[in-house]
Chains A and B, each alone.
Chain A
Amino acid sequence: MRLNRRLFLGTSAGAIASLAAPAVMAAAHGRPRVIVIGGGAGGATAARYIAKDSDGQIDVILIEPSRTYFTCYFSNLYLGGFKKMDDLGHTYGALAANHGINVIHDHAVDVDRAGKTVTLAGGASLPYDKLIISPGIDFVDGAVEGWSVASQNSMPHAYKAGSQTELLKAQIMAMPEGGTFAMVAPPNPYRCPPGPYERVSMVAHTLKQVNPTAKILIADPKDKFSKQALFQEGWGDHYAGMIDWIGPEFGGGNVSVDPDNMILTIDGEETQVDVCNVIPAMKAGRIAEIAGVTDGNWAPVNAIDMSTKADADVHVLGDAADQGDMPKSGFAANSQAKVCANAVRGALTGSRVFPAKFSNTCWSLINTNDGVKVGATYEATEDKIASVDSFISQTGEDSALRKATYEESEGWYAGITADMFS
């Protein structure tokens, strides 16, 4: 048996649909239609798997404003000088050409769940049978006193990759000799739990080369963080004396900023800083809230198929979902997307639906060839996505293993981006 890729060149899809088994759900517009909002690790993967595996039986529309998507994962490696910005950019052409996905570069501005339509900024109203919302994160208004998106040029978050990341790198390179890089770390839950601390490692790596007397200050509202022992060991080994982590015990959770004057105030004490990377508290991307499927900051979902508690025909993937034990990561969104795609396909075409299995691994780079990882497997229970098994890199591992771990992370990056965009 040979499984080959089918090329969709516009005309083939209809012919295939007419030959295929009749759709279980026959919508007014012919083939059943899935609309996916958001072309990141959750949305691009879901769109690709539904289109690829349904052999043209399902009309898949992907709505994503960016023509080039820059991955947030690995963007810290750009700050560390290990990747170029171009390495992180991906386009959607193959999803249209190889899988017949209708990629629309526009913003979804409204969802009418009663009428089952999505409205675009451009004005079009598109009907759907199943809607998948994978919008990533937005920031909670007023989460850091003194900061708003209006001040993100003075104090970048760089937590959505692209221009913000480039701005932060430029600011780091322009720091005065012996200057201070400050980070305001976010409270749980947030995208990419080890991300802020990998970022500190990468900034330290860059500063050690170009500005070795510079200091890094982290104000953190959490009393512990992901891979803490591994990061702290690495910081001691590679960047001794450079990094000062201020946890909540010392006021790290009581922070305000003055972007105009580059002042960071921690527990009442003002510090003049040269770069201030503010990563505010997060919430689901706004379209999830507009669709009315959120409860508080996130969208509660059923673990078995990622459908929302609010609406069985609306699924939410990735960072925006309140799903249980999985971290908010690109890997997790990609994993959830496959479970969702299998269930959506089954509902629309009667294809076989298999048990939900989820997994996640997060790699972080501490220094050149010094990679670490953490991961877990998960299953669907009545209440949530529940952790089954887990592992984490150990402190004191030898350099050959750490190098192999870093190389593995590069392999993963090539793998997941091919799994989303090819």
Chain B
Amino acid sequence: MSAAAQPPLGVSGATRRRGLPWRRRHPIAHMAIVRLALGVVTLFAVSVLIFLATQALPGNAAYAVLGHSATPQRLHALEAQLHLNESLVAQYGHWIGGVLRGDFGTSLANGESVSALIGPRIVNSAVLVFLAGIIGSLLATAMGLIAAARRDGWFDHVSSVGALTVTAMPEFVVGIAVVIIFAINVFHLFPAVSVIPPGTSPLSNVSLLVLPVLTLSVVIAPYIFRMMRAAMIEALESDYVEMAELKGLSRRRILLVHALPNALPPVIQVIGLNLLYLAGGIVVVEYIFNYPGLGAALVAAVSDRDIPTIQFLVLMLAAFYVAVNIVTDMLALWASPRRRAAR
């Protein structure tokens, strides 16, 4: 390390005129700002790409709306109404202009305001994703901790095999199994479908959320569990833990105060990845439970070639991806002071 080139951390500007640059003193904030700026550029690029991709599909919204009953007359009338005969640049410009004013346009399929119709569905999905993310992560992290602490014990073996089995099952199998066990065949504890009536909040009817959240939690838990277990085992085998044991510290203190914080950064990354997976993969669960979320809305919008709705949903998803990535990296950086210092 070329010590001569840079002043040691913490020494106030003795050898430089203005001291450490701002980005060194606030590494997390600096990273967040840079990533936010890049995120905005990403969103813009995504919107253009998706717009072009939708145009490449055969047919357009007028065909999709009229379906089987499209006659040339009605098609022309509807295309004119929906501005589908304007140039691509004009259509995109029209849309982006609205977005910059906060107006996401009206759906080509039904003429309602996109944000009014789809906004609640995004909220519905967000509730599922966060509930499943939190519950699944907490449960899996705790299980990983215990499995690592009692390595090769019965709990470790049972949970490892269980995690492997669940990983092998596709999401819809888990979902159907959950419905069969808890709703229809074995027990009749919860509703078999989770139709949130339009205009009501998903949290006002918690029994409808139980089975979808259970399905999603079960789906993401194995990855978090395995990462936590592996990271904990590595932490428990390190020198400083050996030192702490020799010093005579209690097992619990070693686990929670010394090993756990060091195991967290990779687990945070995995949790972040799983949240992103949930956002994209939620569509299967939404179909099984007929849950009015964004996954089903996006599939329907693509099928309908409903460009404003597709753009809105894709932008929201992309923004979610960017945000989760930023937050995950910030948390991981915060959880490992060594990396912060090295920047």
**Does A associate with B in a complex?**
no
